[in-house]
Amino acid sequence: MTNIDFAKSALIAVDVQNDFCPGGALAVADGGSVVAPLNDLALRFNAANAPVIATQDWHPAGHSSFLSSLSSGRAPAEGEVLWPDHCVQGTAGAEFHKDLNMNAVTLIVRKGFRPSIDSYSAFFENDRKTATGLGYFLKGLGIEALYMGGLATDYCVFFSAMDALKLGFKVYILRDAVRGVNYPEGSVEKALSAMESAGVSMI
């Protein structure tokens, strides 16, 4: 692996939660396999006193991103992607994968808790304006480079990486520590190539 300048780098584990792993409500194929490489790297960041961030999709019951929310008569917006109920606050599905080393995590960022806004990105919700605060946190610590893995490649990892670039961070995707939903078919490939063209490094 590349040499990491730990004084200016942070590790971000995106949404490594039960509902995105096999057996979960929105399972990503092979999702659990991101855990081992993330844990390895988290220990290296810990040893260097560098930030290790875990994001957590954290929806209230009946969240507007759930397909089930349409039963209350709401019309979906053009192009809006809706999901099975997942990562509902306080449920087992919202918990981190049991093997993810949470002792190594220095900050947990919860997102998607506003009932009417979804939030794929770790930085801005899907209205593209509401900040999660993570950008300010990282800038405040003088962080310049982000090492990112987790779930899902084509949604939360993708939007987080693209926002991070816009905020001026150098972004490295840990290629063996991401897995995707691939819905619609082909979206993982599309996300990977869009990230690369935008300037994300795959390592």
Contact positions toward ligand VGL, by CB under 6 A? 15, 20, 57, 83, 120, 151-152, 155-156
198 φ/ψ angles, rounded to the nearest 5 degrees: -80, -15
Interface pick for Zn ion out of 19, 57, 154, 163 (rule CB under 5 A): 57
Q: Which residue is nearest to Zn ion (CB)?
A: 57
Told to judge if 170 belongs to the known catalytic residues of this protein, a careful annotator would answer no
Find the catalytic residue in 15, 57, 118, 163.
15
Least distance (Å) between residue 192 CB and ligand VGL: 14
151 binds, among Zn ion, ligand VGL, none (CB under 5 to 8 A by kind): ligand VGL
Distance set, CA 136 to CA 11, 39, 169, 174 (Å): 15, 25, 12, 23
Of the listed pieces 51-59, 131-139, 170-178, 194-202, which binds Zn ion according to CB under 5 A?
Answer: 51-59
155 binds, among ligand VGL, Zn ion, none (CB under 5 to 8 A by kind): ligand VGL
Residues whose CB is less than 8 angstroms from the CB of residue 37 and which lie 6 or more positions away in sequence, other chains included: 149, 174, 176, 177
CA 75 to chain centre: 27
Told to judge if 127 belongs to the known catalytic residues of this protein, a careful annotator would answer no
To which H or E segment does residue 41 belong? helix 35-47
Find the catalytic residue in 21, 57, 87, 111.
111
Closest to ligand VGL by CB, 51 or 112 = 112
Number of residues in the chain: 203
Q: Which two tokens stand for residue 73?
A: 């008569």
Closest to ligand VGL by CB, 63 or 169 = 63
Closest to Zn ion by CB, 56 or 101 = 56
Least distance (Å) between residue 3 CB and ligand VGL: 29
Distance set, CA 87 to CA 10, 49, 133 (Å): 25, 30, 20
Find the catalytic residue in 21, 154, 156, 163.
156
Residues whose CB is less than 8 angstroms from the CB of residue 172 and which lie 6 or more positions away in sequence, other chains included: 2, 145, 146, 147, 148, 200, 201, 202, 203
Told to judge if 111 belongs to the known catalytic residues of this protein, a careful annotator would answer yes
Q: What is the binding site for Zn ion (CB under 5 A)?
A: 57
